A and B are shown apart, each in its own frame.
Chain A
Amino acid sequence: MINIENLTKIFDTKQGVVTAADHITMQVPEGEICVLLGPSGCGKTTTLKMVNRIVTPTSGRVLINGEDTTQQDTVTLRRNIGYVIQQIGLFPNMTIAENISIVPKLIGWNKKRYTKRASELLEMVGMDPGTFLKRYPNELSGGQQQRIGVIRALAADPPVMLMDEPFGAIDPINREVIQDEFLKLQRLLKKTIMFVSHDIDEAVKMASRIAIFREGKLVQYDTPDDLLSHPKNDFVKGFVGSDRALKRLQLVTVEEVLETETAVVKMNDSLSQALVKMDDAGYERAIILVDDARRPVGYISRSVAQANQGDCSKHYANLRSVVRLEDNLRTVASKMFTHDATWLPCVNSEGILEGCVTQRGITRHLGATYKAVQ
C-alpha cells in the first residue's frame, strides 16, 4: 500500500516559484493500479517521482506498506520499487540478460538464481529466452524493448511499481497488446502500481483508481466508473471527454447486464409454438433457436414464423454474432452496430447459451448510476 500525505514540491526556477505538486494526499491500496492522469505540467510525474525520491519532496511524506520513506536511504528504497520510464531506459551496453539481472545482482542474488529468473521473466512476456537473453537492446523492436523494461522492473519482485507513461512511445496496435499482457501479468502478480498517463482511454482500461491532476493539485480520485459517471467539475468533465458514457462501456462485462431468463425454441418445435413463446416472453421480433445441448444455432424471426408453417429447423436464420460472458460492453456495442442488432446471444466458454444482452439492458445499467445520485 502506498500512502501519500500532503506531498508538496516547489521548484525555484528563473521564472519564479513553481508549485509542481500541492499538498497531494492519496492512498493506493495493495494490489491496485492507480493511474495519475492529467495534461502535461499538471504534477502527475513529479508526484510519481517523489515516491522513489528521484524528485525530493519539499514537504509531506510517502509511506510504503506503513514505512516512512523519508527515513530510508534512497538506494535501498529504490531497489524495492520497480521503475519503468517512457524512454524505456534499457542500458545499450548490456545484453538483455544483464539488463534484467541488474537489480537481482545489486541485491546480491547468486548467478544461478538471477539467470533462472531472467529466463522465467522472458517466458512470462512470451519471449524466447534462448533467442533474446544474449541480444542487445538495439537488436529489439520498440515493443520488445518495453516488455524488457517492464520485466526488468519486476526482476527482484518488488511489491510496488512506478510506471511513468510506460507505453507512451509504442505504436497504438502494439500498445493495446502490451497493455493486455500487462493486465494479465498484474492479475497474477498483484503489485501495487502507480502509473502516469495522459491518455484517458489507457487510464480507464488499466486503472483500479484514477487520480486527475491539474496545476499541481489532485482534483478527483475515484474508480474509473465513478469518475466517468460523476466527474467532479467542468475540468474533469472536459478531460474525460463528452463521450464519457461510452467509455464506461469498457468497464462493464456482459455478465453484469446479462438477461439470463431467455426463452428459446428447439429444432423440432413448430413455428406456431415459436410464436406463442415469443408472445409469452414479450419478444417483438425474434426468438433464439438452440440445439439439444443448448448451443445457439440461429433465430426465428416473427415475420417468418407468421408467414410459414412447419418445424423451426427448416425456417431459422443464422445468428450474426454471439458474445462471451467476459467481453466488455464496448465490444458488444460494436458488434450490435456492425450487425444492426438490438440484442445478441451470449455463450459461455463451452458455447452453451447463457442469456441475452439487449440494448435496453445496457442503457438501463449505465443509467442506473446516474439515477441513484439524482
Chain B
Amino acid sequence: MKSAVMKTIQFNNIGRGVMYLAVLLLGIYLQRTGLIDDILYYYDDIVYLGRQHVELTLISGGLAVPVGIALGIMLSRPKFRNLSEWTMQGLNVGTTIPTLAILALSMSFLGIGMLPAIFGLFIASLLPIVRNTYTGLLGVPAHLKEAAAGIGMSSTQMLLKVEIPNALYVMFAGVRTALAINVGTVPLAFLIGGGGLGELIFTGIALLNTQMMLAGAIPTAMLAILVDILVAGLALLLVPRGVNPLRN
C-alpha cells in the first residue's frame, strides 16, 4: 500500500518534471523561430479570454467542490445507505458520458452562453468529488468509528473529528481529478458560447493559424498545471500528518 503510494508520488514527480522540461523546450523553440512574438501578438486576447477561462473554472469548480462533498457525506450516512448504492451506480454511468456530450446536453436545456457552460462544467466535475468523498468516508475503518462512538462522540463530532480527517486524502484526490477535468474541459465551453481560451484554440485550428492556436493552448496547459499544483499543495497542508502519505 505504502510502496504503491510512493510509486505514484515518484511517478507524479517524474511526470511533472517531464512537463516542465517540455514547456522549457517549447519556449526555446518558440523563441528561436520567432513564434513567441507571433503569439504575444494575441496578448490582449490571452488576458481577456484567460480571465473568462479562470472565471469559468472558479465558478463551476467553486460550486462543484462544496456541493460534491456535501452530497458525498450525505450518501455515506447510514440513513441513505439504501439510496446511496443506486446513486453511486448512476454517478458511475454518468462518468462515462464524455464531457463534450455533457456540454451539448446542457446547451440543449439552457441555450448558449456562460450559464450552460458553467452548468455543464459543474456537472462534469461533480462526479469524481462525490465518488471520492463517499468511498473515502466508507473506507474509514469500522474500529475507528466504534472507538469514536464508544468514547461518547455525537455523530456530528465523529464526522468532523474522525471520519473527514481520515478520508481527507482520498477526498482531495477527487477534487484534484475534478479540477483537472474541469480546466481541461473549459476550452470546449467556447463551442457552446461560453468563451474562454478555447476561442483562440478552435479559431486557430479552423484558420490553420498555429500561432493563434498556441496562444490558447499554452496558457490552458499552464493553468492546468497551476491548478494541479495548488490542489496538491493544499492537500499537503490540510491533510493531518498522521494520515498523510505525502508527509510520512
B-side interface mostly = helix
- Main secondary structure on A side of the interface with B: mixed
What's the Cα separation between A152 and B148 when bound, in Å?
Answer: 12
* Binary CB contact string for chain A from 70 to 101 against chain B (1 if under 8 A, 0 otherwise): 00001111111101010111111111000000
The proximity string for B residues 214-225 relative to A, scoring 1 for CB distances below 8 Å and 0 otherwise, is 000000000000
Question: Is A91 a contact partner of B149 (Cβ separation < 8 A)?
Answer: no
Q: Check if A189 is an interface residue, CB within 8 A of chain B.
A: no
- A79's contact among B152, B162, B165, by CB below 8 Å, is which? B152
B33 in the interface (beta carbon within 8 A): no
Which of B148, B165, B241 has the most chain A CB atoms closer than 10 A to its own CB?
A: B241
Contact B151 A87 (CB under 8 A): no
Query: How many contacting A-B pairs (Cβ < 8 A)?
Result: 80
The one of A74, A88, A93, A153 in contact with B242, judged by C-beta atoms closer than 8 angstroms, is A93
- Are A75 and B166 touching (Cβ within 8 A)? no
Is there an interface contact between A54 and B242, defined as CB atoms closer than 8 Å? no
The 5 closest A-B pairs by CB, nearest first: A89-B147, A136-B242, A79-B152, A83-B150, A78-B152
CB of B1, distance to nearest CB on chain A (Å): 12
Given contacts A88-B143, A89-B143, A89-B146, 14 further A-B contacts (CB under 8 A): A75-B152, A78-B150, A78-B151, A83-B147, A85-B146, A85-B150, A88-B147, A89-B147, A91-B148, A91-B242, A93-B168, A93-B240, A94-B161, A136-B242
B242 / chain A contacts, CB cutoff of 8 Å:
91-95, 136-138
Q: Which of B170-192 contact A (CB under 8 A)?
A: none
In Å, the complex CA distance between A180 and B141 comes to 30
Residue in chain B with minimal CB distance to A102: B151
- Partner-A contacts on B (CB < 8 A): 141, 143-144, 146-154, 157, 161-162, 165-166, 168, 240-243, 248
Which listed residue (A80, A85, A102) contacts B143, Cβ 8 A? Answer: A85
B151 touches A92 (CB 8 A): no
- Chain A residues in 8 Å Cβ range of B146: 54, 85, 89
Q: Does A103 contact B (CB under 8 A)?
A: yes
